[in-house]
Amino acid sequence: MLRRQFIAKSFRAAATAAISTSLLRAETTSKSILVLGGTFFLGPAIVEAAMADGHKVTLLNRGVTNPGLFPYVEKLRGFRSPNSDDQNISALGQRHWDVVIDVWPYEPVLVESAARRLKDRTKHYLYVSSVGAYDTKDFSQPNVSEDGATVPWAIVPRESTGDAYDRGKAESERRLRAIIGERLTVVRPGPIKGIRDDTPDILIWLRRMQQNSTVIAPGDGSDPVEIVDVNDVAEFLMLAIDRPLYGTFNVTGRPMSFRSFLDDCRSATHSNAELVWITEAFLRNQGLVLQGQANWLRPFPYWKPDPSWANFSRISSAKAYDAGWQTRPFRNTAIDYLAYIASLPAYVFQDTLSPERHAEVLNLWRNGTR
């Protein structure tokens, strides 16, 4: 046999083997996935990522939020409630799935009841928790890892939503570990942004870049910011399913400085706005350093000058990155977010710092008023 013929024959054989292996892999790695929820913000990103990976998805939800999403995905109707008399998840029947993903609830009773119903009907259970599950006492040092202490459980009134959310997420994790054991994956995202998010925190900065030639930048630019793209969280869940990966993983993205954050906001809007950095002391004297308010209600969203909270934006996702997770640049997230906001027919934007007040503070700073 001539050398050229031998090489060609060998190549065809290798190609045939590779195709066969690829087809076999596609057949064996495609999984049936039950998503509890799946139609609000992170849920749709998870469904889209799962379908892109070739998995077969079933949704269980009320059919109230965005019912028109995913017309060709199987939908089971049900209602999860802390009150067992109200709850109805009978649509699950006696079915089995390879994977179950519980996307959003923070009430331990809800999380626990679904897990007990499904624990023997799945091989892999995933729960989306939050970095809010960490006990803030553990933030004395940066790079908090997955073995950091979590918030202890206590009965809190439903009206105390902030405390209830953090404690509820932590307690939900604990109950799931007791029920599911080693087949559990818990992901703890930080602030999630991107497509289908309509909270105005990033939008405030993007609009200021678009509408002003000069923009107040708080502090000195060194304060940390940590934001993760909604699609990157979904991609990590797919990575955890495909490997599979078990245990707890922070998925907060990579920390960036506030200067980098604002530079990316400016770049995403193709703005030439000048950033004027104004000290915390001056802004505090102007009544613009607020504590205890939601991020999107502050004059300068994502800026946290309180040192006790700085490490909340320096949580380590090294474990997820070491497992093969990849994340996109924040600039891309900002562009996706802008595009989504532009697609909403009736979105009304209101800045937390009026144009008049913004201009007034700039003038006071430039005129040396302290």
Q: Does residue 22 register a pLDDT over 70?
A: no
Mean pLDDT of 208-231: 97
Please say whether the beta carbons of 192 and 41 come within 8 A. yes
- Each residue of 26-84: pLDDT tens digit? 444 899 999 999 999 999 999 999 999 999 999 999 989 999 999 999 999 999 988 88
Per-position b or e across 225-246, b if 16+ CB within 10 A of its CB? bbbbbbbbbbbbbbbbbeeebb
- Each residue of 303-312: pLDDT tens digit? 988 887 788 8
Mean pLDDT score of the chain: 89
Question: Considering only CA atoms, which of 315, 54, 332 is closest in space to residue 187?
Answer: 315
pLDDT value at position 310? 80
Q: Which fold has domain 28-189?
A: Rossmann fold (3.40.50)
- Each residue of 113-138: pLDDT tens digit? 999 999 999 999 999 999 999 998 77
Task: Compute φ and ψ for 326, nearest 5 degrees.
Answer: -130, 145
**What residue segments make up the domains of the chain, in order of their start?**
28-189
The H or E element containing residue 201 is helix 201-211
pLDDT-derived band at 295, boundaries 50, 70, 90:
confident
- Each residue of 167-186: pLDDT tens digit? 999 999 999 999 999 999 99
Question: Considering only CA atoms, which of 293, 317, 318 is closest in space to residue 304?
Answer: 293
Output the pTM of the full model. 0.89
